[in-house]
Structure 1
């Protein structure tokens, strides 16, 4: 068993106000809690990991490369296939909070070592 204390978990901020916290996980899957400020969007990106994004508070809108979108409200989720280009936006005036699950697991260096 491996317990993670949220207050002591590994945290990083890929962009101002966009905070991510690494929760318990493994090489097979990882969980990242995140806080997205009003008006923030991640860049369009893809990765080798399947992803489930769960909205915990506020609203999150997920876009794919074809311009299709879905807006998640509290407790809604979306599944993204490996290598599916997407971006996640908070288009509201309130902070949004979510939880990302990745399989296989990934490390923070996806965002911290990213080159545009």
Structure 2
């Protein structure tokens, strides 16, 4: 067993107000808790990892090259490996979510970008 305390977990803030927290995981999968301020969008990007994004609070819209879906609390979306996407907080309040990645990944995905 490998517990991870939220207060002691590795954190990363790619942009002001966009916080990510690395929760328990492995090379096979990883969990990242995150929050986004209203109006914030990640850049369009893709990665080798399959991803499930679950909205815990607020509203987020997920855009791909061909589609978009607005998710409310407890809604989720699955993104295939290499599927280009971005996630935007389209609500009026801070949005909170949980991303699950398979295979697992570290924050190097964001810190090593050009």
State the TM-score bracket (shorter-chain normalisation).
Answer: over 0.9
**Structure 2: how far apart are the matches of 1:19 and 1:113?**
17
Deviations 1:29-83 (A, max 9, x none): 00000000110000000000000000000001000012x1111111000000000
Number of the residue aligned with 2:90: 91
Residue of structure 1 in register with 2:56 after alignment: 56
Normalised by the length of structure 2, the TM-score is 0.98
With normalisation by structure 1, the TM-score equals 0.97
| CA distance in structure 1 between the partners assigned to 2:113 and 2:15 by the alignment | 12
How many equivalent residue pairs? Answer: 114
- In 2, distance between residues paired with 1:71 and 1:63? 9
Question: Which position in structure 1 is the counterpart of 2:33?
Answer: 33
Distance 2:64 2:77 in 1: 12
Deviation, structure 1 residue 91: 1.3
**1:33 aligned counterpart, secondary structure:** strand
Describe how 1:1-116 pairs up with structure 2 within 5 A: 1-66=1-66, 68-115=67-114
CA distance in 1, matches of 2:38, 2:53: 18
Gaps of 5+ in 2: none
**3-state DSSP of counterpart to 1:93:** coil
Runs of 4+ with deviation above 4 angstroms: none
Gaps of 5+ in 1: none
Query: In structure 1, the residue corresponding to 2:96 is in which secondary structure?
Result: strand
